[in-house]
Amino acid sequence: MDLIPAPRTCRWTPSAPHDRLTPRTRLEARPGTEGVARWLRATLGAATGLPFPDGNGGDDDRVVLAVDPGLPPEGYRLVVDGRARRIEGGSAAGVFWGAQTFRQLLGADALRRAPVRPAHAWTLPPVVVEDAPRFAWRGVMLDVARHFLPKDDVLRYVDLLAAHKLNVLHLHLTDDQGWRVEIERYPRLTEVGAWRARTKWGHRASELWDDTPHGGYYTHDDIREIVAYAAERHIRLVPEIDLPGHSQAAIAAYPELGNTDVVDTAALSVWDTWGVNPNVLAPTDHTLRFYEGVLEEVLDLFPARTSPFVHLGGDECPKDQWRASPAAQARIRELGLAGEDGLQSWFIRHFDRWLAERGRRLIGWDEILEGGLAPGAAVSSWRGYAGGVAAAEAGHDVVMCPEQHVYLDHRQDGGPDEPVPIGYVRTLEDVYRFEPLPPGLSPEAAAHVLGAQANVWTEVMESRSRVDYQVFPRLAAFAEVAWSTRLPADPAARDFAGFERRMAAHYRRLDALGVQYRPPGGPLPWQRRPGVVGRPIDGTPPNV
Closest to 474 measured CA to CA, from 437, 511, 438, 507: 507
> In whole angstroms, what separates CA 134 from the centre of its chain?
17
- ω before 473 within 30° of 0 (cis)? yes
Q: Is 525 exposed, middle or buried (0-12, 13-18, 19+ CB in 10 A)?
A: exposed
Q: Phi first, then psi: what are they for 382, rounded to 5°?
A: -105, -30
Question: Which of the 8 DSSP states describes residue 14?
Answer: T
How far the first Cα of the chain sits from its last, in Å, is 36
Classify burial at 531, counting beta carbons within 10 Å of its beta carbon; exposed 0-12, middle 13-18, buried 19 or more.
exposed
> How far is C-alpha 242 from the geometric centre of its chain's CA atoms?
16
Active site residue 18: no
Catalytic residue among 88, 175, 367, 418: 175
Is 240 among the residues known to form the active site? no
Catalytic entry in 61, 316, 393, 511: 316
R_g over Cα of the chain: 24
HSE value, Cβ hemisphere, 13 Å, CA-based, for 309: 26
Known catalytic residue: 405? no
User: Which of the residues 172, 214, 246, 405 is marked catalytic?
Assistant: 246
In 132-283, at which residue ranges do the beta strands (DSSP E only) sit? Answer: 137-143, 168-172, 174-175, 178-179, 195-196, 199-200, 209-210, 214-215, 236-243
Q: Are 224 and 301 in contact (CB under 8 A)?
A: yes
* Distance separating alpha carbons of residues 525 and 509, to the nearest angstrom: 22
Residues annotated as catalytic (active site), given as ranges: 175, 246, 316
